[in-house]
Chains A and B, each alone.
Chain A
Amino acid sequence: MNKAIITVVGQDTVGIIARVCTYLAEHHVNVLDISQTIIDGFFNMMMIVDYANVDTEFGTMVTDLDALGEQIGVKIRCQREEIFTKMHRV
């Protein structure tokens, strides 16, 4: 399993999760967990995904999701999980 964290920050609108999930499904990325909350008045959504079977380069996925975020008007980041686990887990 290769985990990545996808975060969406911005104004909540209809269909954000649907569009992100559509992209992930098309590229064989499995969603393991989704959570969302409001931080400082902004919509924050986090997905934990498994990209072990992704059909493209990880870097391409990062760029594509960033572009998708621009289309929707939110900030979408896709980062490998280790940067968070290293920082927050001893």
Chain B
Amino acid sequence: MLNIMEVHETNQMIEQEKLDVRTITMGISLLDCADADVDVVADNIYRKITTYAKDLVATGEAIERDYGIPIVNKRITVTPISLVGASACKSSEDFVKLAHALDRAAKQVGVDLIGGYSALVSKSMTPAEEMLIRSLPQALSETDIVCSSVNVGSTKTGIDMNAVELLGHIIKDIAYNTRDNDSYGCVKFVAFCNAPDDNPFMAGGFHGVTEGDAVINVGVSGPGVVSRALDETKGRDFEFLCETIKRTAFKITRVGQLVAQEASRRLGIPFGIIDLSLAPTPAVGDSVGEVLEKIGLEQVGAPGTTAALAMLNDQVKKGGIMASSYVGGLSGAFIPVSEDKNMIDAAGAGCLTIEKLEAMTCVCSVGLDMIAIPGDTTAATISGIIADEAAIGMVNQKTTAVRIIPVYGKGVGDSAEFGGLMGYAPIMPVNQTSCEAFVTRGGRIPAPIHSFKN
């Protein structure tokens, strides 16, 4: 039978260490919404989402109450809209209509965000996919809670450099269109390499075509819990440290598994995966940067940061894997600069640079995330950053991503305010040496060889 100390430990995690379930995300296939008429597609999308997800928020809130665990976000992911709208959309404006349908449906059911205004172009773009990408500045500035992603490369296909080059311009245009709000539109867009089909996190979540009609995926959180547990490891060796992280990750993930199974049962929708993630928030004590510092760094960004992050990421997975029947999504430690208090401080102090963050993305769960850069950064430089990150993912067979915000009208020394979970960020300096001739060559970078690994 349970004892009082175990109960106290769980409740302390929730009350003082900010343990929460970051998101219950319902994935919905919209493949059956396709039609030749864009208005019919928009109606079909609205109807399907508002039917399937009508009880999602209420169910999430009931689970929160029954177990006393906060569930911070309820979200929806859908089939990449470039596929759903391919036969109906004859222009970028047609795709924007579908973005509005997603926005209206998501608001109607009361979710926080909806993802899947996406295109998968890892080898090359169809006309519809290019139209969707070109619609992003308008779509992301006219809608509030629609998130978008573009997969520009994969280990199997290489990198579509035409898409990478185009995205540099698109990101600049999104930043300009949302300039009154610190270029907030860029917060809702991410470029991927090796994007997973079952990611419950935003902005990169979409419901892959390999998925069923509907699914429940859950993203856990808990850097605060790991941080508190590490207080016990001061001065101890790596074996003790790793065991502590694994044990903590196991406990966090079990809560996610419980919530996922319960949501699945109550909504009558199959359980998909748990995303084993340490997802920080800007709140004090809920920081992956703080965890790295407790492992032994004076400040995140110092030499040793990449090794510490590699170890943390691996232990989180090892602890979490056994706690869940199905693991997927991004799974690992997130390093979104603006969403993590200690990373914000380290970036502000000049200790954490984009180059160091790039190195960290080789071993973390995703990539360059929530990084504010000067508004006058060129489109070619942004494309170069995306290409670098995609190359890391392609060669290392992992998911990488870029969510970067060239904040219009701001430069190094300023800071950008995104609000809520998205936080705030100092504008970080970017190496402005030109890569224009590289990113404008056209074509694609071939898939890498899968042998002779060094």
Residues of A whose CB lies within 8 Å of any CB of B are 5, 7, 9, 33, 35-37, 39, 44, 46, 48, 58-59, 62-63, 77-88
The one of B2, B10, B65 that contacts A62, using a Cβ cutoff of 8 Å: B65
Q: Is B69 an interface residue (CB 8 A)?
A: yes
**Contact A87 B251, beta carbon cutoff 8 Å:** yes
Query: Which among B122-130, B167-175, B253-261, B339-347 touches the partner chain?
Result: B253-261
Q: Is B303 an interface residue (CB 8 A)?
A: no
**Contact B2 A84, beta carbon cutoff 8 Å:** yes
Known contacts being A48-B1, A79-B68, is A86 close to B257, with CB within 8 Å?
A: yes
The one of A9, A78, A80, A85 that contacts B2, using a Cβ cutoff of 8 Å: A85
**Contact B8 A59, beta carbon cutoff 8 Å:** no
**Contact B4 A37, beta carbon cutoff 8 Å:** yes
> A80–B257 Cα gap in the complex (Å)?
15
**Contact A80 B66, beta carbon cutoff 8 Å:** yes
The one of A44, A62, A63 that contacts B8, using a Cβ cutoff of 8 Å: A44
Question: Which residues does chain A contribute within 8 Å of B258, judged by CB atoms?
Answer: 82-83, 86
Question: Which residues does chain B contribute within 8 Å of A5, judged by CB atoms?
Answer: 2, 7
CB distance from B327 to the nearest CB of A (A): 16
Question: Which residues does chain B contribute within 8 Å of A88, judged by CB atoms?
Answer: 2, 6, 9-10, 251
A-B contact pairs, 5 of them (CB 8 A): A37-B4, A48-B1, A48-B2, A83-B258, A86-B254
Q: Which of B312-367 contact A (CB under 8 A)?
A: none
> A33, A46, A58, A86: which has the most chain B beta carbons within 10 Å?
A86
**Contact A46 B7, beta carbon cutoff 8 Å:** yes
Known contacts being A33-B1, A84-B2, A84-B7, is A77 close to B68, with CB within 8 Å?
A: yes
Question: Which residues does chain B contribute within 8 Å of A35, judged by CB atoms?
Answer: 3-4
CB distance from A26 to the nearest CB of B (A): 21
Known contacts being A79-B68, A82-B67, is A36 close to B6, with CB within 8 Å?
A: no
CB distance from A12 to the nearest CB of B (A): 15
**Contact A83 B69, beta carbon cutoff 8 Å:** yes
> A84–B7 Cα gap in the complex (Å)?
6
Q: Closest chain B residue to A5 by CB distance?
A: B7
Q: Is B307 an interface residue (CB 8 A)?
A: no
> A74–B10 Cα gap in the complex (Å)?
18
**Contact A79 B251, beta carbon cutoff 8 Å:** no
Q: Is B396 an interface residue (CB 8 A)?
A: no
**Contact B10 A87, beta carbon cutoff 8 Å:** yes
Q: Is B440 an interface residue (CB 8 A)?
A: no
**Contact A7 B67, beta carbon cutoff 8 Å:** no
Question: Which residues does chain A contribute within 8 Å of B255, judged by CB atoms?
Answer: 83, 86-87
Q: Is B377 an interface residue (CB 8 A)?
A: no
Known contacts being A79-B67, A82-B67, is A87 close to B8, with CB within 8 Å?
A: no
Q: Is B412 an interface residue (CB 8 A)?
A: no
**Contact A84 B4, beta carbon cutoff 8 Å:** no
**Contact A83 B4, beta carbon cutoff 8 Å:** no
> A37–B9 Cα gap in the complex (Å)?
14
Q: Is B11 an interface residue (CB 8 A)?
A: yes
CB distance from B26 to the nearest CB of A (A): 21
CB distance from B321 to the nearest CB of A (A): 13
**Contact A36 B66, beta carbon cutoff 8 Å:** no
Q: Closest chain B residue to A81 by CB distance?
A: B2
Q: Closest chain A residue to B322 by CB distance?
A: A90
Q: Is B302 an interface residue (CB 8 A)?
A: no
Q: Closest chain A residue to B262 by CB distance?
A: A82
Question: Which residues does chain A contribute within 8 Å of B8, judged by CB atoms?
Answer: 7, 39, 44
**Contact A59 B2, beta carbon cutoff 8 Å:** no
Question: Which residues does chain A contribute within 8 Å of B6, judged by CB atoms?
Answer: 84, 87-88
Q: Is B40 an interface residue (CB 8 A)?
A: no
Q: Closest chain B residue to A36 by CB distance?
A: B4
> A81–B262 Cα gap in the complex (Å)?
13
Question: Which residues does chain B contribute within 8 Å of A63, judged by CB atoms?
Answer: 65
> A28–B254 Cα gap in the complex (Å)?
31
Question: Which residues does chain A contribute within 8 Å of B421, judged by CB atoms?
Answer: none
> A26–B169 Cα gap in the complex (Å)?
67
Q: Is B62 an interface residue (CB 8 A)?
A: yes
> A77–B1 Cα gap in the complex (Å)?
19
Q: Closest chain B residue to A46 by CB distance?
A: B4
CB distance from A40 to the nearest CB of B (A): 9
**Contact A59 B11, beta carbon cutoff 8 Å:** no
**Contact A7 B7, beta carbon cutoff 8 Å:** yes
Q: Which of B271-288 contact A (CB under 8 A)?
A: none
**Contact A83 B67, beta carbon cutoff 8 Å:** yes
**Contact B1 A80, beta carbon cutoff 8 Å:** no
CB distance from A88 to the nearest CB of B (A): 4
CB distance from A63 to the nearest CB of B (A): 8
The one of A9, A37, A59 that contacts B66, using a Cβ cutoff of 8 Å: A59
Q: Which of B43-93 contact A (CB under 8 A)?
A: 62, 65-69
The one of A39, A58, A83 that contacts B10, using a Cβ cutoff of 8 Å: A83
